[in-house]
Structure 1
Amino acid sequence: MDVIQDYLTKCSTIIRVVEQQSATIREAAGWFADTILAGRMVHVFGSGHSRIMVEEMWPRYGSFPGFNPIVELSLTFHNLVVGANGQRQAMFLENVPGLAERILRNFDLSEQDTALIVSSSGCNVVPIEMAELFQQKGIKVVALLTREHSEQSTSKRTDGKKLSDFADCILDTGAPVGDAMVRVPGLDTPVAPGSTVGGALLINCLKVEVARLLTEAGQPPKVLSAGVVVGAEKAVELFEAAYDEHAHRLARLYQHVGK
């Protein structure tokens, strides 16, 4: 059995699942572009390994300002695995009711904002409450989850509601139940997750469509680009301009906090 080919074949299936969501991707990208054109920000949140998708959106090469990456270290910094700042604590904290409200208390939100909430299971409390709070503020929410896995999982909320219950549109990573995709002969449990593959595809499909819409609207984004592509001087110019724009957009989110 060629387990490498098995994984790659299943990834090909994920590509097809993402491709079938083109209309939904375009709808979500349209909302995001409207937010950015209005001078506001798209709030991107994920706990645990969903943080990967937040960082894939911004800031990195091939990305641009307009996105507010909300990465709470207590929910995502588990590289030590055990001991202080370990995975057990992070998994506990992402199911503490009320934490999402305390995080969002830091920002002056507007109905012109939009949000992208990433959670493969869509069943942990903090991401669900994030989506719920955004909707209460009149902010459109895009949920990036694994539909099949979420539908067969049990919510950690006492009322049983999931991320999908507070989403204006849903994007599916296409990964299977349990995420891991490959069965190794002699091993009882599958290995090699697929949600990161599907999630990264969705993030970058959103990114390129938003870039197209911004450019067509006469406001082409300042894309972080490598010196080998645009030249060293231009690369530095883009980096500085993109980070400055991010700072200016972020400043608006703090301007009227608590007023």
Structure 2
Amino acid sequence: MSVTKQYLAKGKEILSIVENQEAIIQEVARIFSRSILDGRMVHLFGSGHSRMLIEEMWPRYGSFPGFNPIVELSLSFHNLVVGANGQRQAMFLENVSGLAARILRNFDTSPQDTALVVSSSGCNVVPIEMAEEFQKRNIKVVALVSRLHLEGSTSKKEDGKKLTDFADYVLDTGAPLGDAMIYLEGLDSPVAPGSTLGGVLLINCIKAEVAKILHENGQSPKVLSSGKIVGEERAVELFESAYDEHAHRLAKLYENVGKKE
């Protein structure tokens, strides 16, 4: 079997694992929808390559307002690899205790909010503490992890706790321990990871379910759409109105920052 067919076969296994989570996907969509219908936001966080799944949710074609992507460049800017702003620094910062609390200090959250925290291993300090901080604020947390990788890994948090210890719901990408899925004869390290594949499937299933709920409740989402589908004028209208809605929702997260009760 060619390596392409091997990867596609592994991909089908991941698809099946995601499909078997339909019930929890729908439950997650319901709690996310409640936040959006209440005029609040779903906070999204992922460090490292998990950033890709955050940006998959919003903003891009086929997505809509209601989500707050928290993307820290110091934790997720990989392009330079070495030198200033390199990967070594990002991987170091990903395990600095206290950083998550400093990030959330910027936002006036509400228990009406919800959160999605993405981490394939679920063992790096910042994503774990981000989920912990959300729960301290009485915000329900959804963890998106690779369960086999998480179970086979050791937490870098001092108390040994993992992301799933601070999650109300857990979604599994279906990727294996170590993430990479293809072994080559004579090469001791596998290639071609699977967590992004499973993660993107989960993100877009949630997105579709949330859109359905919003639409059925009279708050049809302003979906970023191609002019080839809806016409150029309508596409521009959707982009502008979606960005405006995002700004208005985001403004609520800043209006009471630092105020004492």
TM-score for the superposition, normalised by structure 1: 0.99
Structure 1 runs of 4+ with >2 Å offset: none
| Partner of residue 3, structure 2 | 3
Gaps of 5+ in 2: none
Q: 1:101 and 1:111 mapped to 2: Cα distance?
A: 17
Gaps of 5+ in 1: none
Cα distance in 2 for residues equivalent to 1:182 and 1:91: 24
Match of 1:190 in 2: 190
The one-letter amino acid of 2:227's match is G
**1:62 aligns to 2:80 (yes or no):** no
CA distance in 2, matches of 1:150, 1:15: 19
Distance in structure 2 (CA, Å) of the matches to 1:66 and 1:48: 23
Following the alignment from structure 2 to structure 1, what is the Cα–Cα distance between the partners of residues 6 and 232?
41
Give me the CA root mean square deviation. 0.5
AA paired with 2:213? Answer: L
In 1, Cα distance between equivalents of 2:20 and 2:254: 39
CA distance in 1, matches of 2:79, 2:153: 26
Looking at structure 2, the residues matched to 216 and 107 of structure 1 have their Cα atoms a distance apart, in angstroms, of 30
Residue of structure 1 in register with 2:229 after alignment: 229
Name the structure 2 match of 1:254.
254
In the alignment, what sits opposite 1:138? 138
1:104-183 to 2 correspondence within 5 Å?
104-183=104-183
Deviation of 1:15 after TM superposition, in Å, equals 0.3
Measured after TM superposition, the shift of residue 184 of structure 1 is 1.4
Bigger shift: residues 184-193 or 102-111: 184-193
**Aligned-residue offset at 1:185:** 2.0
- Residue 32 of structure 2 corresponds to 32
Report what 2:84 is aligned to.
84
Aligned partner letter, 1:189: S
SS at match of 1:68: strand
Could you tell me which amino acid in structure 2 is paired with residue 184 of structure 1?
A: L
Compute the displacement of 1:186 (Å). Answer: 2.3
Measured in 2, the distance between the counterparts of 1:232 and 1:100 equals: 41
Q: Quick one: distance in 2 between partners of 1:152 and 1:177?
A: 6
d(CA) in 2 for partners of 1:100, 1:71 = 12
Partner of 1:205: 205
Aligned residue pair count: 259
Distance 1:184 1:3 in 2: 9
Structure 1 residue 99 displacement after superposition:
0.2
The separation in 2 between residues aligned to 1:35 and 1:185, in whole angstroms, is 50
Q: Matches of 1:139 and 1:168 in 2, distance apart?
A: 9
Q: Which amino acid aligns with 1:181?
A: M
2:48 match: 48
Look up the match of 1:214: 214
Q: Identical aligned pairs, as a percentage?
A: 73
Q: What is the Cα deviation at residue 231 of structure 1?
A: 0.2
* Secondary structure class of the residue paired with 1:157: coil
Return the alpha-carbon distance in structure 2 between the equivalents of residues 134 and 221 of structure 1.
Answer: 26
CA displacement, residues 234-253 of structure 1 (integer Å, 9 cap, x when unaligned): 00000000000000000000
Structure 1 residues 102-149: Cα deviation after superposition (integer angstroms, max 9, x where no partner): 000000010000000000000000000000010011100000000011
